[in-house]
Structure 1
Amino acid sequence: MAAEDDAERQRNRAKLYAPPKEARRRPSGGGIRRGATGLRAGDARALMSQIAAEDARFQGRR
């Protein structure tokens, strides 16, 4: 793509690297906001406590 100026070069780059239109749609979650991993906040807290318990067990703290 031969761009004549920087603005055209940026537009071409934006088109080239833009995500597909299907990926730009907002997922229907029923108003539930989720993080990048798809976990709810309560699920993330439970996972973090499990990891902390395993970490303590491996370090001998029980």
Structure 2
Amino acid sequence: MLSAAEATLEQGAEDEAERQRIRTKLYAPPKGYRPQKRARPPGSGMDMSQAQSLAAQLAAEDARMTGRHTG
């Protein structure tokens, strides 16, 4: 739907500079819009103890797969 609006507006443009101004105005955020800081979504990271536990699990699995022993 936005593409149709863009095409309709661009039809009246006389040159490429005017087309660009139309696109800029059309896709600009609303007046007064202030983007919010994005917080990390829950579950998107792990703490140090979880990372260490995962590293230990990976090392054990690697040792099991290659026949080496960890010590």
**TM-score, normalised via structure 2 length:** 0.41
**TM-score, normalised via structure 1 length:** 0.45
Bigger RCO (CA 8 Å, 6+ sep): 2
Larger radius of gyration: 2
